[in-house]
Amino acid sequence: MKLRHVTSARQFDIKTLQDLFAFTDKIKSGKYNNKALSGKIMATLFYQPSTRTRFSFESAILKLGGSTISSENAAEFSSAIKGETMQDTIRIVDSYADVIVIRHPQSGITDLAASYSKVPVINAGDGVGEHPTQALLDLYTIFEKKKTKEFTIAICGDHAHYRPHHSLSYLLSLYPKIKIIYVSPKRLSMPKELREHLKKKKIHFVETEDFTSSIKEADVIYQGRIPKEYLGAQYKKYLGKFILDKRALSSIKKNAIIMHPLPRVNEITPDVDSDPRAIYFEEARNGLYVRMALLLSIL
């Protein structure tokens, strides 16, 4: 599959992932030292805060010889504040850049952007929608560590609003031997569309509020932030419901891996960081290599 716009994890198939991850391996091991994107310009338009995603995308293109033009606070520092629409912004920026990376609070907006853009558009998080490149680096990290496509993953937190859970689920649904345990308070369970998708693909999944027994069973524990920005006053009610702390480490599998897209609030306490099963900082580092491979594939 030739990659152009990347707006949803739903667009990927197994072969495309295999190729992308093989390329990522090569880059990570230092065997790819080509400034293949020299002369290419990436625009990053971020209407929501970001540390890992924007820096890793920018670092990725710089390492490949390209350059970046950036609005780290596009809501305030682009013409959006004057009332310019996304359509118009894209029709301007696509003349200045070879690829546009967008993070925005409105779900679905990168599809709209892609429909207007002459150059590839990448979704770096669209509201409560998706975060496909996060899912790519997560799945790459899981396969790298577990070396199998048959495992149980416990995804914990807010499945209603937390976009990394949505995109990761879509990628996981390509692999029939994976079991997914969705741990969340009932009110924060997954969107209907995702549940329907998993059923259609005959994925083995369960939904539960039982954090303690789920993490015991899991080969991969995937924690997520409770996103305050979408929950308003209810936020405090859910904060601190599922905390993985040092005490919990004795109950999980010896060869489990503990992941988190980061930033964390209190879902994983800092005393877990030194445990060899805690791989979230390595996961974030893999974001650089996966995004390098993705940019190379697209451009």
What residues line the site for ligand NCD (CB under 6 A)? Answer: 52-53, 125, 131, 134, 163-164, 225, 227, 261-263
| Per annotation, catalytic residue among 28, 40, 131, 291 | 131
By C-beta, is 90 or 124 nearer to ligand NCD? 124
Distance CA 156, CA 165 (A): 9
Strands 152-156 and 179-183: parallel
On the CB side of 214, how many CA atoms lie within 13 Å of its CA?
A: 26
CB of 87 to ligand NCD, least distance (A): 24
Q: Which is nearer to ligand NCD, 120 or 261 (CB)?
A: 261
Joined together, the tokens standing for residue 53 give 């995603």
Q: Among this protein's residues, is 82 annotated catalytic?
A: yes
Half-sphere exposure of 79 (CA within 13 A, CB side): 10
Identify the active-site residue in 52, 91, 197, 277. 52
Catalytic residue (one of 53, 110, 141, 152) = 53
Minimal distance in Å, beta carbon 15 to ligand NCD?
26
> Are residues 105 and 48 in contact, defined by beta-carbon separation less than 8 angstroms?
yes
CA 166 to CA 111: how far, in whole Å? 16
Residue with smaller CB distance to ligand NCD, 28 or 163: 163
Side-chain half-sphere CA neighbours of 111 within 13 A: 12
DSSP 254-289: TT-EEE--S--SSSB-GGGTTSTTB-HHHHHHHHHH
- Reply yes or no on whether 52 is catalytic: yes
Q: Is 44 a catalytic residue?
A: no
Please give the DSSP secondary-structure letter assigned to residue 38. T
Bridge partners (DSSP) listed for residue 6: 122
Sequence-separated (6 or more) residues with CB below 8 Å from residue 67:
40, 41, 42, 61
Residue placing its CB nearer to ligand NCD in the complex, 130 or 219? 130
Active-site annotation holds for 53: yes
Minimum distance, C-beta of residue 97 to ligand NCD, in the bound complex (Å)? 21
120 vs 132 by CB, closer to ligand NCD: 132
Amino acid identity, position 229: E
Least Å distance, CB 271 to ligand NCD, is: 21
CB of 99 to ligand NCD, least distance (A): 18
Residues annotated as part of the active site:
52-53, 82, 103, 131
